[in-house]
Structure 1
Amino acid sequence: MMTNAQPSPRWKLLAPLAVAIIVALIPTPPGLAPHAWYFFAVFLGCVVGLILEPLPGAVVGLIGVTLVALLSRWVLFSPEQLAAEGFNAAGQAFSWAVSGFTNSTVWLIFGAFMFALGYEKTGLGRRISLWLVKAMGSAP
Structure 2
Amino acid sequence: MSTPTIFCFGVAILLGIAGGLLTDVGSWYHGLRKPRLNPPDWLFGPAWTIILGLAAWSATIAWSAATDEGERQLVVLLFGANALFHLLWSPLFFKFKRPDWALVEVAFLWLSLVALVVGLAPISTTASLLILPYLAWVTFATWLNWQIVRLNPRTA
- Asked whether the two chains share a fold, i.e. TM above 0.5, the reply is no
Question: What is the TM-score when the length of structure 1 is the normalising length?
Answer: 0.33
Q: Counting helix residues as a fraction of each chain, which structure ranks higher?
A: 2
Q: With CA pairs under 8 Å and 6+ residues apart, which has the higher RCO, 1 or 2?
A: 2
Structure with greater Cα Rg: 1
